[in-house]
Amino acid sequence: MWYDKRVMVDTLLISLILVMMFILGAVFGSFACCQAWRWRYHVLHKKELGQWSVCLHCKKRIKWYDNIPIVSWLVLRGKCRYCHKKIGLADFLSEISLAIAFFMLSWAYLVPILENWNILALKPELLALQLGVFIVTLMLLVVLMVLAVYDAKWGELPTVLLILAIVIGAIVWVLKMYELSLTDDGDVIGGLWNSFGAVMILAGTCFVIYKASKEKLMGSGDWLLALALALPLASWWLALWTIFLANLLGDVIVLPTALKSGNKKVHFGPFLVAAFVIVLVLGNCLPLLLKAL
Ligand SMILES: [Zn+2]
């Protein structure tokens, strides 16, 4: 009996942590959108938005109960309570996608760490590395979301944010390679080649398209963004899926509207980020999902 009780407490605790991570993701999604706007105001040298969230149309301060990530957008159906002007879909998408990503990645990374804590505690270095990969990956997702929202709204990828994403992506990569060197059957040389393949496939393809199309199909920022995604993936196979999925999403979502409006300029950044999040989540969770079925 005592054993069952312990299992129950563990399950409850893990469920609680996953719910908390979902909420944390939603909060960071909302934060990312806010940062995109702040950065835009900064770039345009406009007056600061101030400390409080305000409606961008009527400048009324948004009450706390209208500022709850995901929930408020659904309750207000994407409109301001006062002036009824639209609140961008980007806000909602960024909140819900980060919430799901935080939840799923916690399940794939954090839960196994917590479950094997006692064993991992014998190798503190490995434990620290695994926690490091998890936390820095989440940080990367937040920066990527700021970039995706910015690109979707204004068709640009701010260089400072790109560099930040590449640096954080490189940190994830270094941690992963270090972790590989500590595991018993870890093949570091294989890992390096795999990472090289990922960079070539993702950043290389984007760079070639950018040069060949003379910046028409892809901007200079896209291949740098692709570099920030290739490093943490560290797998040519996942990189291939990312570029494939990004193109697929782009074609399905952009082409119909582009043909209708005659607007040929495609902003690829949001699709790259969306594909990366999907591949990262599925790449880590699919084996777990299959095991659970
Ligand atoms: Zn308003």
What one-letter code names the amino acid at 81?
R
Is pLDDT of 286 > 90?
A: no
pLDDT of residue 4 exceeding 80, the answer is no
2: pLDDT strictly greater than 60: no
Angle between helices 236-261 and 269-292 (to 10 degrees): 130
Separation of CA 80 and ligand 1 centre (Å): 5
Residue-by-residue DSSP string for 17-81: HHHHHHHHHHHHHHHHHHHHHHHHHHHTTPPP--SS-B-TTT-PBPPGGG--TTHHHHHTTTB-T
Global pTM? 0.90
Task: Say how many Å lie between the CA of residue 51 and the centre of ligand 1.
Answer: 17
Does the pLDDT value for residue 273 go beyond 90?
A: yes
CA of 4 relative to ligand 1 center, distance in Å: 53
Report the separation in Å between the CA atom of 62 and the middle of ligand 1, taken as the mean of its atom positions.
8
Ligand 1 midpoint to CA 145 (Å):
24
CA of 50 to the centre of ligand 1 (A): 16
Q: Measured on CA atoms in the order 166, 167, 168, 171, is the torsion positive or negative?
A: positive
| 24-45 average pLDDT score | 90
| Cα 83 to averaged position of ligand 1 atoms, centre (Å) | 4
* Tokens representing residue 254 in the block: 């952009």
Q: 142 CA distance to ligand 1 centroid (A)?
A: 26
Question: 165 vs 141, 171, 227, 259, 273, CA distance in Å?
Answer: 9, 10, 9, 32, 11
Between the CA of 158 and the centroid of ligand 1 the distance, in Å, is 27
Domain layout of the chain by residue ranges:
2-292
- Condensed to tens digits (0 to 9), the pLDDT of residues 89-139 reads 888 999 999 999 999 999 988 998 988 888 888 989 999 999 999 999 999
